[in-house]
Structure 1
Amino acid sequence: MRGFSSISRSLSVSRRIFCTAPTGALRFYCNHRPAKRAGPLMQYRDLVKQGKLQHDPDQEKVALELENLLGRLQQYEKDMEEYHVKLAEWENRRENERHRLLVEEAEMKQRGDVWASVNKHRSKLIERWTFRGLLQEKNIEPGVGKWVSYLNREKKLDTIVGRRPAAPPAPKGLYLFGNVGSGKTMLMDMFYSATKGIVKHRRRYHFHEAMLEINAHMHQIWKKQVEEKSFQSSISSWVRNLPFDSTIKEWLDAEEKYKQEMQMKNILPAVADKFLIDGQEDQGGASILCFDEIQTVDVFAIVALSGIVSRLLSTGTVLVATSNRAPEDLNQDGMQREIFLKFVDKLREHCDNILIGSEVDYRRLIAQRFVYQNHFFWPLGGSAEEEFQKMWVEITNESGGKIISETIPVMFGRTLEVLKSCNGIGQFEFEYLCGRPVGAADYIAIARNYHTVFISGIPTMSMRIRDKARRFITLIDELYNHHCRLVCSAASSIDDLFKGTEEGRLFDLESFQFETEIEGSKLRRDVLAEGSVSSGGVPTGIISMLSGQEEMFAFRRAVSRLIEMQTPLYLEGVRALHPYFQR
């Protein structure tokens, strides 16, 4: 074992910024509530002035850009409030007029229109000798008649009601990219905290969480569609009370259902419309999406991000995103190139791209300046293992609880067994978390339920276990994003953890393949079909094609975060920032 100091006896924190040493890219651990919320530039300069951040010109430039964006958002929120009032009025008028047009068409049919007479015998005869014959003669697909009627009706509505009101121009968002530890996430989080009270609809997602949220919304929408299909025999309430016979009512109801089918044909816009405001009655006002670590790790990510982010940007959402790569460099393997290029064009149209050019990993710089409390014990066995178990006993004793086993919910009805649990503290073996077909959904469930996570038996990563290495990186991402305290026993130091073994280095192939989470596989295949993307040749679960350079980014990020998670600055923020203590 390498020497480590004892753990902190308490996670209690005061209402202050948890910074005690100069740094430039540490996450913004802030739990204070000033009378007037400071913007990102003021926050950044105050921390530099106090000696709590090391000045970096690239970071200050980004802070200034974010400050300017924040100022534009205040007026934009007011403009969008007024726009949504006008939009609601327009939608109501259009729906009322659509019903009126349908009723007029129904009255014509009721009077004995030759194409849809209420006389059943005559209707069958005409259908047999005209409409069906026409389909056979000209090879017109069934449903074309409804499609033409639908388009003609929509065109009439444009003339009567007018086209959809134009939304006010949205301020351009920001796409921040740069090296690991350069401060992207810190600056975005400063901005996000400052938008509270300014923008009504605001969400912050990490990549893994966003993908799972997309899967969940897709599942809900498809489930609703299935339920609605099972009740197709029941006629819509507004149609049921009209003074027409049953045949005409059935026609009206079929037209109504066809309109709904057309609106739901592409699932991604429907998901996008629920992404930021799902479950909220008041949908007025501006919306902003802060998206940490945009990636295009597989076909599903490209299709889903392109469809959903493009829809959000087109409807006025302001995007602030971070990534290790410039937009045009996200798709190194050329997957679904046409869809990807449209996505890049949309990002360029709605976001300014800013490179944070610092080569310094400030997380590592902090670790060098701190006399820190190391929670990473190595090598495996001997005194390191003893220290690991000793820390488990100390922390669980401090919690005053009893060690039990429990089951926690994941998503899609799945659960995860936790064999050792005690008041928000959980212990796991590496093989249990990373040696099985589990993924981000499981790790998010763990991160949300446990403020302190113990992981034992972490091996040095090699090509032989590269799938486990990828899962471990995802696990670290989620524990870090939820601000968990992490205690590990491992075969090597943090710096050597991803350098490979005698079996070979982890980066000696030009590209790797990793399977994504099992629970999303069918939904992902379905969304590919909806997006007119060929899924031929794809096995169960969509395969990610990640280049060695992409993996290098991921490994470097994991090392950087593991180092930061050992520092008092990080550990002091657990009680203030972890979801367990916000309940």
Structure 2
Amino acid sequence: MELLRILVGNTRGNNSKNAASFCHHIRRTCISRFHGTPSFESIVQGATPVEAYHRLVQSGSIRFDERQLQALRPLERLHKDLEDYNPSQLQSHGLASRLLRAIGALKQSTQPPCGVYIHGGVGTGKSLVADIFYHCSPIQRKRRVHFHNFMLDVHRRLHEAKLSGDIGGSDDIMNAVSEQILDAGWLLCFDEFQVIDIADAMILRRLLESLFNSGAVIVASSNRSPEELYKNGLQRDLFLPCIGYIKKHCEVYSFHPESPDYRLIGARPDGSSALSVVWYKPLNPETKTLFEQSFTRLAGGRKIEPSVLKSGARCIQVPRAAGGIAWFDFKDLCDTPKGAADYIAIAASFHTIFVANIPQMTSSHNEMARRFITLIDVLYEQKVKLIASASVDPKDLYLPSLEDADVVEPSASSANKNQKEGAFYAEKDEEFAFARTVSRLSHMQSLDYLSAPWTSPGKDFICYLERTRLQEGDVQRIWDRYNVDADSRLSRSELKLMMEDLTEIKCGHRNVPQEVLDDMFNKVDANRDGVIVWTEFCNYIMQYGLEILHA
């Protein structure tokens, strides 16, 4: 498995469409407001969600937003419905109670009330209204959790249940895990409900069915409507029943498409601009002071502290973080061994990045320039807001023809001047790529970019990176590692071990659903003879990369 960690790390693609997919960092989407993070201290005990919202407005914790108030209406209804709901009878009677409920023989008080599924744009206030509901609910057995966190826990429990061998078939295992979840809380409030992993998609149908049949009530916030969940995903037809369960057991509420994103740099609720400058130059004490003040201002009342992101087996140190805002020094990002996977993990965790002390670079800084190009590509694709302090304007950041004495001293890792004959062509390639970077940096300062919603990382970008970096020798070493009996074929159990290792590296769990294993085996087995030989394995990995082999 260690060999695979090294190989996956070398591809610089060990992340997924969701910086949470392959990354184990768990982010909580924070709403960056003029007054900072809302405080619930002003809410009196026994208040309903709507009453609590007005209390927060009166206390100055938040600004009034009619759209958020409307989004609280279905949560207000659920809050009242839960007063007469007791799931104990439903859970204790098991199958019998489910049959009685199906024919309407159970009392109304034991039938689960309809939950709430809220979807809308990033930063509109979905998490805020869900937090208010959760805070107001007197239910003792309740749980508020990021959905990615929840699914990691489910995969861990499923894997442990399979290993124990004490439970029967897959349905029995799922029901047992469902009971464990409900023991911790039957009112489940999910933040950022999304499905991007095929492993999640394959088990979610049975999981939701078991939870709803056992009396669970779900409140979820999401960037996607139920119909758009796992859109264009592999074997999506097997996931479609989940959408039906959600629509049957939850009231679906859509935020108005024009709801403002309160996390954006230029989108305060009162219409004023939070920051008027996003590119600070030159590098001098005055600029440093202004740059520091901008970070503090945008952080609002949130606590500023160091943080650590996990990208597969790697840890990324974040010097300063405040909610969805992070601070890095240029050398931390571009003068240390970092690649696209690290930058994707950062882009998936923070909607706004401060990068301090960007120097002017020459041919002696080619490594730093390459990393900076990749960094900007990732941030730009994910619509992450960049606020930077630099020695010069973007168009003058990379000038290979300048003498090194005219700019900053290169560090030990990048001061290695290339005197080889091919250096000229490499330099031309970098100059060409940097021209695109300059264009993107210019656009990243525009109002339309700063007003665009933050997006989650794209899987295609990672697959491309892995396909361009893996060589046949790498694939041979993978084959040798997992072809345990050293014969001429890769068995289903050997492929499963490889997929479990990859899934653990990428997603933090080792649960590979049988449907996913069968589907992958059939894809690698090109001639469909029930056997995976070396040529089939090599051709598949060289074409699609390792990314496709995790659950």
TM-score, scaled to structure 2: 0.51
Contact 1:410–1:442 under 8 Å retained in 2? no
Distance change >3 Å, CA 487–CA 336, structure 1 → 2: same
Q: How far apart in 2 are the matches of 1:192 and 1:289?
A: 10
Q: Are residue 203 (structure 1) and residue 138 (structure 2) matched?
A: no
Equivalent of 1:67 in 76, 82, 91: 76
* Equivalent in 53, 66, 83 of residue 63 of structure 2: 53
1:387 aligns with 2:261: no
- Alpha carbons of structure 1 residues 455 and 382: separation in structure 2 relative to 1, 3 Å: closer
- Counterpart of 2:168 (choices 256, 262, 270) is 262
Report the CA distance between 1:341 and its aligned residue.
Answer: 0.9
1:435 aligns with 2:351: no
**Residue 346 of structure 1: CA displacement?**
0.9
Q: 1:297 corresponds to which residue?
A: 196
Q: Which residue of 2 aligns with 1:175?
A: 117
Please tell me whether residue 332 in structure 1 is matched to residue 231 in structure 2: yes
- Does the alignment pair 1:80 with 2:87? yes
Contact in 2 for aligned 1:294/1:323 (Cα 8 Å): yes
CA distance, structure 1, for counterparts of residue 80 and residue 356 of structure 2: 48
Larger Rg: 1
Report what 1:343 is aligned to.
242
| Cα distance between partner residues in 1 of 2:256 and 2:446 | 27
1:262 is matched by which residue type in structure 2? Answer: G
The answer on 1:323 being equivalent to 2:222 is yes
Structure 1 position 174, deviation (Å): 1.0
Cα 1:533–1:513 change in 2 (3 A) is farther
Deviation at 1:426, TM superposition (A): 8.2
Change (3 A) 1:168 1:219: same
1:191: Cα distance to partner? 0.8
Counterpart CA distance in 2 for 1:213 and 1:472 is 27
SS of 1:262's partner is coil
1:540 aligns to what? 546
Contact between 1:182 and 1:361, CA under 8 Å: does it hold in 2? yes
- Alignment CA distance shift 1:382-1:411 (3 Å): closer
What do the CA deviations read for 1:476-528 (whole angstroms, capped 9, x no partner)? 9xxxxxxxxx986587489549989xxxxx99xx9934369864458878523
Q: Does 1:353 align with 2:362?
A: no
Q: Structure 1 CA distance, aligned partners of 2:518 and 2:285?
A: 51
Equivalent residue number for residue 306 of structure 1: 205
The 1:409–1:300 alpha-carbon spacing in structure 2 relative to 1, beyond 3 Å, is: same
Deviation of 1:72 (Å)? 1.5
Does the aligned pair in 1 maintain the 2:171–2:206 contact within 8 Å?
no
SS at 1:353 equivalent: strand
Structure 1 match to 2:268: 367
Tell me the equivalent position of 2:481: none
| Residues 423-572 of structure 1: pairs in structure 2 closer than 5 A | 429-431=332-334, 435=339, 437=341, 456=356, 468-469=378-379, 492=441, 495-496=444-445, 512-514=460-462, 519-521=504-506, 526-529=511-514, 534-536=519-521, 537=523, 539-542=545-548
Equivalent-residue separation in structure 1 for 2:374 and 2:346 (angstroms): 23
- The AA in structure 2 aligned to 1:320 is V
Q: 2:169, 2:380 → 1: CA distance?
A: 38
> Quick one: distance in 2 between partners of 1:217 and 1:498?
46
Structure 2 CA distance for aligned equivalents of residues 311 and 433 of structure 1: 45
* Structure 2 CA distance for partners of 1:468 and 1:47, relative to 1, 3 Å: same
SS of alignment partner, residue 535 of structure 1: helix
Distance 1:514 1:334 in 2: 16
Who is 1:236 aligned against? none
Q: How many residues align?
A: 372
CA contact (8 A) 2:199 2:513 kept: yes
Aligned mates of 1:29, 1:86 — CA distance in 2: 42
For 2:257 and 2:276, locate their aligned partners in 1 and report how far apart those are by CA, in whole Å: 28
Structure 2: distance between partners of 1:271 and 1:188: 25
Q: Do the aligned partners of residues 390 and 352 (structure 1) sit closer, same or farther apart at CA in structure 2, a change above 3 Å counting?
A: closer
Instruction: Return the alpha-carbon distance in structure 2 between the equivalents of residues 202 and 375 of structure 1.
Output: 43
| Post-superposition offset of 1:210 | 3.3
Contact 1:176 1:323 in 2 (8 A): yes
Give the deviation of 1:184 after TM superposition: 1.9
Contact 2:178-2:210 at 8 Å conserved across structures: yes
Relative to structure 1, the CA distance from residue 81 to residue 497 in structure 2 (aligned partners, 3 Å threshold; closer, same or farther) is farther
Distance 1:60 1:347, change over 3 A: same
Tell me how far apart the structure 2 counterparts of residues 275 and 467 of structure 1 sit (CA, whole Å): 40
SS in 2 for 1:312: helix
Deviation (angstroms), 1:356: 1.6
Give the Å deviation of 1:347: 0.7
Residue 33 to residue 441, structure 1, CA distance change in 2 (3 Å): farther
Percent identity between matched residues is 22
Q: Distance between the aligned counterparts of 1:375 and 1:273, measured in 2?
A: 53
Shift of 1:387: 1.5
**1:67 Cα offset (Å):** 1.0
Deviation at 1:544, TM superposition (A): 10
CA distance in 2 between counterparts of 1:275 and 1:539 reads 35
Secondary structure at the aligned position of 2:117 is classed as strand
Change (3 A) 1:389 1:410: farther
With over 3 angstroms needed to count, the CA separation of the structure-2 counterparts of 1:265 and 1:341, relative to structure 1, is: closer
**Which residues of structure 1 form unaligned runs of 5+?**
1-17, 22-26, 92-157, 159-164, 229-256, 279-285, 396-405, 477-485, 501-505, 546-583
Name the CA shift for 1:372/1:521 in 2 (closer, same or farther; >3 Å).
closer
Deviations 1:443-477 (A, max 9, x none): 99x99xxxx9975589999996698449977x99x
